[in-house]
Amino acid sequence: MLIRTPKAWELPESAATPESLYHLRPRRDFIKTLGLAGAAVATRDLFATTAGFPTRINPDFRDPALKPTAHELITSYNNFYEFGTDKADPKPNANKGWKTDPWTVEIAGLVNHPVKIDANDLVTKMGGAEQRVYRFRCVEAWSMVIPWDGFPLSKLITFADPKPEAKYVTFVTFNDPKNVPGQRRGTLDWPYLEGLRLDEANHELAFMATGIYGQAIPNQNGAPLRLVVPWKYGFKYGKSIVKIEFTAKPPVNTWQAMQAREYGFYANVNPNVDHPRWSQGSERVIGAGGLLGGRQRTLMFNGYEKQVAALYQGMDLAKYY
Ligand code: MTE
């Protein structure tokens, strides 16, 4: 999250293809193969992901006022420091032979059901994928709207069956310096890790994403599994997770370890608390409003205040940034 000047290519409104992608047609042949044609779900609500999972739109998490950002922008304007520090780096660099399938995920720590499981099997165990459209806000003061496919994190927590002592969840992402040149450099302390309080992780908005726009999540966006917590800044969304560990104490997340004065554990979107380098009162909407992006006011908890404020009752939100 270095200071940089946006380049002209990053925000071409003309590159936006939200309509065609957002209304992807269901692949009935695929659905039939899976034997779902007769299932009690409307086929128009089903999308097939290339990972092999049909995903069902969840109307409870789709605000008609939100206009999803174009797939092309979501998948080419990225922060993934393992693959470079420029927004344009991850797309080419994460697709030069880096393998994200097969992929093993470990559930560990203070749980009654520790397990190592293939990422595809995990999605199946979670009952498949659903699609939710969420606001996405980076601490660098830019934003998108993303149709994520995946499953609620609370399902994974139920599956793991945490012990009473478990109070936090840590999301450890991959460490593969042999195949990922960025991890041979000390840009950050690898592996990238993030954490949530257990009650935050159990909130119905917390999500594990395996797809975007009904297609398998691309490597540059954190294949095959990444965290999504829409009321928090984007750096909380650990990408390409290999281990989910339940602990009694909070982990120190990667950016907090790097610069605790700038990046806290909570990282809840808060327009009233500025980052030392970025005012958080407004945001640049990627893909809107021409070359520099349209600006809009940033909302408390990124617009999810009604749903999540109770998690932080009695806390001084300026202190717990
Ligand atoms: N996860 C890993 N493993 N490495 C990273 O560098 N960057 C974070 C987060 N997850 C990061 C990561 C930051 S700073 C942001 S803003 C989001 O991923 C960006 O996600 P996107 O590229 O899919 O928009």
What are the pLDDT digits (tens) for 88-104?
999 999 999 999 999 99
How do the residues of the chain divide into helix, strand and coil, expressed in percent and rounded to 5? 25, 25, 50
Q: What is the mean pLDDT of the chain?
A: 86
pLDDT at position 318, please? Answer: 87
Rounded Cα distance between 122 and 105, Å, is: 8
Query: 266 C-alpha to center of ligand 1: Å?
Result: 16
pLDDT at position 292, please? Answer: 60
Query: 282 C-alpha to center of ligand 1: Å?
Result: 20
Atom from ligand 1 closest to the CA of residue 138: 16
Residues near 205 by Cβ (< 8 Å), separated by ≥ 6? 61, 134, 229, 230, 231, 304, 307, 308
Q: Is the pLDDT score of 66 beyond 70?
A: yes
Q: Is the pLDDT score of 161 beyond 80?
A: yes
Pocket test for ligand 1, best of 69, 142, 237 (most atoms within 8 A of CB): 237
C-beta of residue 162 within 8 angstroms of C-beta of residue 199: no
Q: Is the pLDDT score of 205 beyond 70?
A: yes
Atom from ligand 1 closest to the CA of residue 227: 10
Q: Is the pLDDT score of 37 beyond 70?
A: no
Query: 235 C-alpha to center of ligand 1: Å?
Result: 5
pLDDT at position 22, please? Answer: 46
* DSSP 3-state of 274: coil
Q: Is the pLDDT score of 200 beyond 80?
A: yes
C-beta of residue 284 within 8 angstroms of C-beta of residue 295: yes
Q: 13-258: what fold?
A: Sulfite Oxidase; Chain A, domain 2 (3.90.420)
Query: 79 C-alpha to center of ligand 1: Å?
Result: 5
Pick left, alpha or beta for residue 193 (phi over 0 → left; psi -120 to 50 → alpha; otherwise beta).
beta
Lowest mean pLDDT among 7-11, 78-82, 149-153, 230-234: 7-11
Dig out the tokens for 235 from the structure.
């750096």
C-beta of residue 151 within 8 angstroms of C-beta of residue 209: no
